[in-house]
Amino acid sequence: MNHTDLLAYKKSFDLAMRIFEVSKLFPREEKYSLTDQIRRSSRSVTVTITESYRKRTYPKNFFSKLTDAEAENSETQVWLDYALACKYLELDTYNELSALNTEIGKLIWYMMNNPDKFGSSKI
């Protein structure tokens, strides 16, 4: 298995790309704040999931990296909340992206609670 085979990787990559597309429509004055932040945090989820998988032979590192991925995923949700509050996202788009974000969080927690299924062992 490769890290790109992980469902959490696939879904987080998809969310990051969808956020990239919708954030192109954010106001220009948000370029270096909300737009940059939401893109960074959403991409960081995928990157950190990859890092955790590469460190799976070290259970504490595997778990630690997954907690970092979960934190970045939570940050992405906050930026989605701001984008909705600022009226940069339609409610339907917000709900769709938030649902995917929640699903990714559950997948990360699954990995944390079942490390043996990913080539790691319990801490």
pLDDT for res 121: 74
Q: How far apart are CA 85 and CA 55, in angstroms?
A: 38
Give CA separation, 48 vs 45, 69, 82, 86, 91, in Å: 5, 5, 23, 28, 29
**Residues 50-59: what's their mean pLDDT?**
94
- The reply to whether the predicted model has a pTM over 0.75 is yes
Residue 105: pLDDT above 80? yes
Per-residue pLDDT at 120: 79
Residue 97 above 90 pLDDT? yes
Q: Output 119 or 69, whichever has higher pLDDT.
A: 69
* Interatomic CA distance for residues 4 and 14, integer angstroms: 12
Q: What value does the mean pLDDT take over residues 24-28?
A: 96
pLDDT at 18 over 90: yes
Mind listing the domains of the chain with CATH numbers? 3-114 (1.20.1440.60)
Give the number of other CB atoms < 10 A from CB of residue 8.
27
Structural contact between residues 122 and 59, judged by C-beta atoms closer than 8 angstroms: yes
What confidence score (pLDDT) does residue 9 get? 98
* CA gyration radius, the chain: 15
- Name the residue type at position 24: K
Segment 108-122 shows an average pLDDT of 90
Position 41 pLDDT exceeds 90: yes
